[in-house]
Structure 1
Amino acid sequence: MTEASGLHGRLDGRRALVTGSSQGIGLAIAKALSNGGASVCINAPAPDAAFDLACREAGAAIGIAADLTGPDEVERLVAAVTKALGGLDILILNAALQEKQPWSGFDRMSIYRQLEINLAANYRLIQAFVPAMAERGFGRLIAIGSIQQVREHPEMLFYAASKAALESMVRNIARQVAGRGVTCNILAPGAIATARNREALADAIYRDAVLARIPAGRFGTPEDCADVALFLASDAARYVTGTTLFVDGGMHL
C-alpha cells in the first residue's frame, strides 16, 4: 500500500522528521508520509549519493545529513529542522546502529556507539520536539523498535538492550503527554528484507532458519512497516498510545 487513502490517511499540513531515512524502513516511511501530504525531512549520517536519491524519491521538503553519534550533530539537526519546517508534528525515530559480537567480548566503543545512537540521541530529539507538540495539542512520536525486544539475538546484546530501553522510555513519556494530544508508540519490525539484512539472508541455511520462525511464512518488506507508521501518524490512531505494534508476521509469538 503506502498510498494514503481516505481522510484518516491524510497528513496534509503536518511536518515530519524521519531519522536514518536514506534507505530501508526509514525511506519507506518517509515516502509514505510524503505521499500522505506531510512535509518530510530526510536524515542520514552523510550526504552521499544514496542520501540525494532518497530525498528525491521521497519528495523531501528538506534533507539534513547529521551523524547522530554526537550531541552536537543532534543539536544541529534540531536547529535545521526547526528553521526549515518551523517545528514538528511527527517524529519518527528510526536511526539505529546494530553491531554483532559475542556477549562476553563487547568492546567499550561498540557499547558507546550503540547506546548513543539507539537511546541517547533519540532522547535528545524527544526533548527537543515533543514538549512543543504537547503545547500545540497535537503530536506523533513513533520509535522504531525491534523484534529483539522480546526475542534477543545472542550476538546483539546491546542492540537488544537499547531497543528495550527505548520502548520503556517511550511508554514513560506516553503516559505523561497522553492528555495533551500527543501519542507515543513503538513500531517493532521483525525480519525485514532490507539492504542491511541482505548479506545475512543470502545464507540459505540461516535464511531458512529465520523463515521457519515466522508464522506468516514470509519476510517483511519496508512497505509493511511504512503502512503501520502511516496509520500511527494519522488521525485514525488518535486513541492509540503507549503501545508496541509488532510488524513481524507473528515472529514474536
Structure 2
Amino acid sequence: MPPQNDFLSARFGLDGQRALLTGSSQGIGYALALGLARAGAAVVLNGRNAAKLHTARAALLDACPSAQVDTLCFDVTDHDAVRKAVDAYELETGSIDILVNNAGMQHRTPLEDFPADRFEMLMQTNVSSVFNVGQAVARYMIGRGKGRIINICSVQTALARPGIAPYTATKGAVANLTKGMATDWAKHGLQCNAIAPGYFETPLNAALVADPEFTAWLEKRTPAGRWGKVDELVGACVFLSSGAASFVNGHVLFVDGGISVSL
C-alpha cells in the first residue's frame, strides 16, 4: 500500500493542471486561485482591469513563490471577446484543464424599485458569463475527453432575502445551468459542478460586513455563528478540481456554515 501522503497527492493533487478563474483579481476568485496554486495547479487570473490583474498576480506570487501564474484580460459578458481570448490562450500557451466561473456582481434594491438596466447587468454578469466562458473552454475540454468546470453559486441559490430577488434568480439559474452542463458534457469526460458559498467576508459583502445589525443577525441565523473566511472555500474547490471527484457531476456543494439547513 502506498504511503498515505502519496495516496492523497494522487487523488487530490493538481500538478500538471491549469486552471482559469474568472473574476479572480480579488475576493473569492483570488482566494481560490491561491488555493489551487498551492495544490499544484498553474493558474490563469481573469478580470476586465489589467492593472488589478497585475497587482493580483504579484500578490499571489508573493504568497506562493513556486506558482505558475498567467493573466488573461477579457470581459466575461462579451461572448465574442471570451471566445477569442480562450482560443488564443489554448493555441499559444496551453490547455485549460479546470475552469472556475466566479465572476459576479450584486445590486441591492427592493424588487418593486429594481432598475431594469441593473437587472439585465446582473443577468449578463452572473449567468451569461457562465455560458460564455463555459462554452468556450468546454469545446477544448470535449476534444481532449476531460476537464473540470466549477461554477460559483450562492446560498441564494436555495434561499432568498429582501432586496436581492434578481441576484437570487441569477444564482438559481447558475445551479440549473451547472446541471445542464453535466447532462450534456459528462459523456465527454467533463465534471461540471458548483460551489454555493454562504456569507463570506468579501468586497461584494463589504456593506453587510460593516453593518453591526446584519452581522448580529447572521451570527444568530448561522449554526456556525460567524461569517465565513474565503480560504474556507478552497478545500471544496480543490476536491471538485481533482481526481477525487471523478464521479461527481451536476452537484451543488454548499459551504455555508449550515445556514441553508437550519430554521
Structure 2-normalised TM-score?
0.88
Question: Contact 1:64/1:80 (CA < 8 Å) preserved in 2?
Answer: no
Does residue 1:206 correspond to 2:214, yes or no? yes
Q: Give CA-to-partner distance per residue, 1:28-72, whole Å, 9 cap, x none.
A: 111111122222110122122x42221123345311222323334
- Tell me which of 191, 194, 197 is aligned to 1:183: 191
Aligned equivalents of 1:28, 1:154: Cα separation in 2: 28
Structure 2: runs of 5 or more not aligned = 1-7, 61-66
User: Larger radius of gyration, structure 1 or 2?
Assistant: 2
Counterpart for residue 27 of structure 1: 30
Structure 2 SS opposite 1:6: helix
Range with greater deviation from structure 2 (197-206 or 18-27):
197-206
Question: Contact 1:22/1:54 (CA < 8 Å) preserved in 2?
Answer: yes
Structure 2 SS opposite 1:8: helix
Counterpart for residue 51 of structure 1: 53
Q: Give CA-to-partner distance per residue, 1:75-130, whole Å, 9 cap, x none.
A: 34323432453231101000001111110122221011111111112101111111
Aligned equivalents of 2:47, 2:41: Cα separation in 1: 19
Counterpart for residue 98 of structure 2: 90
- Tell me which of 42, 60, 83 is aligned to 1:39: 42
Percent identity over the alignment? 34
Structure 1 SS opposite 2:50: coil
Does residue 1:228 correspond to 2:228, yes or no? no
Aligned equivalents of 1:29, 1:7: Cα separation in 2: 20
Aligned equivalents of 1:84, 1:102: Cα separation in 2: 47
* Change in 2 beyond 3 A, CA 1:84/1:198: farther
Question: Contact 1:64/1:77 (CA < 8 Å) preserved in 2?
Answer: yes
* Change in 2 beyond 3 A, CA 1:15/1:79: same
Question: Contact 1:24/1:195 (CA < 8 Å) preserved in 2?
Answer: yes
Question: Contact 2:90/2:96 (CA < 8 Å) preserved in 1?
Answer: yes
CA RMSD of aligned residues (A): 1.7
Q: Give CA-to-partner distance per residue, 1:6-39, whole Å, 9 cap, x none.
A: 2222111112100000111101111111122222
Question: Contact 1:42/1:60 (CA < 8 Å) preserved in 2?
Answer: no
Aligned equivalents of 1:83, 1:135: Cα separation in 2: 14
Structure 1-normalised TM-score?
0.92
Aligned equivalents of 1:96, 1:249: Cα separation in 2: 21
* Change in 2 beyond 3 A, CA 1:137/1:70: closer
Range with greater deviation from structure 2 (94-103 or 123-132):
123-132
Q: Give CA-to-partner distance per residue, 1:168-214, whole Å, 9 cap, x none.
A: 11101202222332111110000011232233211111111012111
Aligned equivalents of 2:112, 2:80: Cα separation in 1: 32
Aligned equivalents of 2:112, 2:206: Cα separation in 1: 26
Question: Contact 2:126/2:171 (CA < 8 Å) preserved in 1?
Answer: yes
Structure 1: runs of 5 or more not aligned = none
Aligned equivalents of 2:245, 2:24: Cα separation in 1: 22
Aligned equivalents of 2:164, 2:81: Cα separation in 1: 26
Counterpart for residue 11 of structure 1: 14
Kindly report which structure 2 residues correspond to 1:130-141, keeping only aligned pairs within 5 A, or say none: 130-141=138-149
